[in-house]
Amino acid sequence: MPSSMDIVIVASAYGVDFVQKHGHAALIPLAASAGADGLEIRRELFLCAEEEITPELAALRQLFETHGLRAVYSAPESLFRQDGNLDLPALASRLREAETLGATTLKLQMHHYAGHVDAGLLQQALANSPVALLLENGQQKTGSRITEFLNFFALCEACSPAIQVAMTFDVGNWSWAGEDAVDAAAALAPHVRYIHCKGVRGEGARRFAVAPEEGSVDWRACLARLPNHLPRAIEYPLPADAAAQAQHVQRLRMAQEPVLAEILAGADA
């Protein structure tokens, strides 16, 4: 990840129907016009056949380069199979796709994590790829708790501190796990390389994403406990108006030092 803070727009922020009707290619100029630094491509939003995804990713790479944006690649699959072991064939396939796209990072899930990982095998699988693996706290019953991520990273670091795996910290998803997002940020900050920003409203299965300031999660307190240079992603529905989209990008970019220092000072008082 770059050293300066980037703002990324997640493709789904434009609406699933819009993405599936117009394709990811239509989003790249929109993200550039909004002043974003990158766009997160969501594999689950492709409607084409499996064999057509790689050519589409190659075409998207050209568009990213034309507009000067960075690409993040997200796939819905888990790093683990249902039996709790690494899904190495799926990982290899998604890494190749991320390389085709020109993405520096691949975001996967931690579903089916059973408390163990062959970190040596994982390191071998990542060693020959320029793409860094980021695991996200999701909305499933497994692979979504603070203790699971702490355990996973401890096992990886015991194998090799240089292993290319870190975390996508989704501020809103901790609500699905019944975990405190601020506690999660404090505990997992050393492992986080990318932040998904969204608020959450509703309860149970009726939860839905909203702008961070409209939700119940103390997102600013989370940011205060995470390194403030990390890329932040908009993962909530954006308004259709281009000027309003640019305002959301700028607001997230500016949500940093002065306010966060006050939060930390209050927490330590």
Q: What is the pLDDT of residue 256?
A: 62
Task: Let me know if residue 15 belongs to a domain.
Answer: yes
User: Burial level of 83, CB count in 10 A (0-12/13-18/19+)?
Assistant: exposed
**Host domain of residue 153:** 7-268
Contact 233, 8 (CB under 8 A): yes
Task: Let me know if residue 100 belongs to a domain.
Answer: yes
Contact 95, 57 (CB under 8 A): no
Neighbour tally for 28: CB within 10 Å? 24
Task: Let me know if residue 192 belongs to a domain.
Answer: yes
- In the DSSP assignment, the letter for residue 45 is G
User: What are the distances in angstroms from CA 96 to CA 20, 39, 52, 99, 124?
Assistant: 23, 18, 14, 5, 15
User: How many domains would you assign to the chain?
Assistant: 1
Task: Let me know if residue 71 belongs to a domain.
Answer: yes
Neighbour tally for 88: CB within 10 Å? 15
Task: Let me know if residue 2 belongs to a domain.
Answer: no
Q: Extract long-range pairs of 247-253: CB within 8 Å, 24+ residues apart.
A: 248/34, 248/211, 249/7, 249/9, 249/34, 249/35, 249/36, 250/35, 252/7, 252/197, 252/212, 253/5, 253/7
Token couple for 193: 């390389």
Q: What is the pLDDT of residue 204?
A: 75
Task: Let me know if residue 1 belongs to a domain.
Answer: no
Q: What is the pLDDT of residue 260?
A: 42
Task: Let me know if residue 181 belongs to a domain.
Answer: yes
Per-residue pLDDT reduced to its tens digit, 39-63:
999 999 999 999 999 999 999 999 9
| Residues with pLDDT less than 70, the chain | 1-4, 256-269
Length of the chain: 269
Q: What is the pLDDT of residue 129?
A: 95
Neighbour tally for 242: CB within 10 Å? 12
Task: Let me know if residue 257 belongs to a domain.
Answer: yes
Q: What angle do CA 123, 133, 49 make, to 5 degrees?
A: 115
Secondary-structure breakdown of the chain: helix, strand, coil percentages, each rounded to the nearest 5: 50, 20, 30
Query: Tokens 């990840």 sit at which residue?
Result: 1
Q: What is the pLDDT of residue 3?
A: 38
The CATH number for 215's domain is: 3.20.20.150
